[in-house]
Amino acid sequence: MNILYDERLDGPLPAVDPTLALERLREALPGVTLLHRDEDRRPFECDGLSAYRVMPMLVALPDTIEQVEALLRTCHELGLPVVTRGAGTGLSGGALPLEQGVLLVMSRFNRILQIDPDARIARVQPGVRNLAISEAAAPHGLYFAPDPSSQIACSIGGNVAENAGGVHCLKYGLTVHNVQALEVITIEGERMTLGSEALDTPGFDLLALFNGSEGMLGVITEVTVKLLPRPQSAKVIMASFDDLENAGRAVGDIIAAGIVPGGLEMMDNLAIRAAEDFIHAGYPVEAEAILLCELDGVEADVADDCRRVREVLAAAGATGITLARDDAERARFWAGRKNAFPAVGRLSPDYYCMDGTIPRRELPRVLKGIARLSDESGLRVANVFHAGDGNLHPLILFDANEAGELELAERVGGSILELCVEVGGTITGEHGVGREKINQMCTQFDADEITLFHALKAAFDPRTLLNPGKNIPTLARCAEYGAMHVHNNQLPHPELPRF
């Protein structure tokens, strides 16, 4: 059984009169933009996961840290929930607002505060675009490694909140591996500094805890990121396969050979054709799958790695192996991959993007499972993978105008995520849990683990006012979903919130 998204929150929803809330916030935040009319709030009713829409009660757009502090203190006093939003490009409903809450929009915090080429760090506000950091660091021969496909639009605060990845995270890590410090504000309006410009700090690693916390523990107001030197050389090999499972096995073979590519991406035939029609990247449209393997470093090492990868791919059954002739062709190869999502969007009125992660060795098995679910449901699935680290992005095509197709797509997506858990993986690699995957959290974790998550949140937000109803399910939800054992009609840990 799959419980589809609804507007209930996991726990009691405080009732605050909108007129009173607006009045109190205007008193506390003179001069701050507060949107309350329907036409002003409408653009903020969803994030990138546009199938779910909720009108926020109020939208606040502060300009200064002091205003954020005052807003959070006032909301805490009123018992008014707060959802923080960045660029709105998230794909799990993490920035979905609340009908009885304030949407705190951080888009005006968009300044790069410092580029320090000697320390190889940048201090930036949370509304700075991911790509803008690399653009600012480029004159110093540096760049910011995590590169989500939405990097032209997504903001660094959201990247931290979701622990975003990208096509180069196999070698260079996720956001958490590239952040050195955070400035955050708690729901009580207290400022905190986590991490530092040093490589290590004493005490518990709260910096890592905040990476991927999805706005549930505090509001990020500044991020210090690591910058890396541009590699001396970078080459891309494109390999085509006439069998999807052979392509999946080739991924494991490359890593097993002791080669760690800068990026290792995979696309199936449906995604290949869509990207080629859209971008004209030079993809072989007859192939059942392609792998894009980028190798970077010093010139001699890259040349040697290219030779070894060619040998591995040939042994794995590649029907074609192409080395990008120059930087322009390399950029075209990557443009096709990075535009795969909008390209697939041209094939169907709607698509549902999933995000799970599996052990690389299980890729052939999971590909078979996704094909079976596609056949059983009658919904086409285009597969786009960060194959090197096992991060899957199946795109489930459907038409929301057809009765029941959205619900069917959600059920197929849920089944794919549960298959990821079954083979030893996880329900997210970079998009987060948000509202979209909250039911599958019940499959991933048991009652004691979920209890611990609630305790961690309570340490920072005991009244559950920051982004409530996201990420962590209640035990009651898990019991209703059918993924948690109930003893004698009694849920474990009865002291935790219920619906």
pLDDT at 182: 98
Instruction: Pick the closest to residue 442 from 374, 491, 370 (CA basis).
Output: 491
What kind and span of H or E run contains 491?
Answer: none
Q: Residue 491 pLDDT > 80, yes or no?
A: no
User: What domains does the chain contain, in order, with CATH numbers?
Assistant: 112-229 (3.30.465.10), 233-342 (3.30.70.2190), 348-422 (3.30.70.2740)
With 50 as the cut, is the pLDDT of residue 488 above it?
Answer: no
pLDDT digits (tens, 9 = 90+) for 278-317: 999 999 999 999 999 999 999 999 999 999 999 999 999 9
- Quote the pLDDT of residue 498: 35
Inform me whether the pLDDT recorded for 362 exceeds 60: yes
pLDDT, one tens digit per residue, over 407-456 is 999 999 999 999 999 999 999 999 999 999 999 999 999 999 999 999 99
Residue 483, pLDDT score: 59
Residue 398: pLDDT band (50, 70, 90) is very high
pLDDT digits 0-9 by tens, 23-63: 999 999 999 999 999 999 999 999 988 788 999 999 999 99
CA-closest candidate to residue 181, choices 114, 90, 88, 87: 114
What is the reported pLDDT for 201?
81
Q: Which residues of 258-297 are buried (b: 16+ CB within 10 A; e: fewer)?
A: ebebbbbbbbbbbbbbbbbebbebebbeebbbbbbbbbbb
The rounded percent of the chain whose pLDDT value lies above 90 is 88
**Averaged pLDDT score across all residues of the chain:** 92
The residue ranking higher by pLDDT, 16 or 146, is: 146
Q: How far apart are CA 283 and CA 286, in angstroms?
A: 9
Q: What percent of the chain has pLDDT over 70?
A: 94
pLDDT tens digit string along 218-274? 999 999 999 999 999 999 999 999 999 899 999 999 999 999 999 999 999 999 999
pLDDT digits (tens, 9 = 90+) for 170-192: 999 999 999 999 999 999 999 99
**What is the amino acid identity at position 371?**
A
User: What is the value of pTM for the model shown?
Assistant: 0.91
Residue that has been written with the tokens 């690591």 in this structure: 226
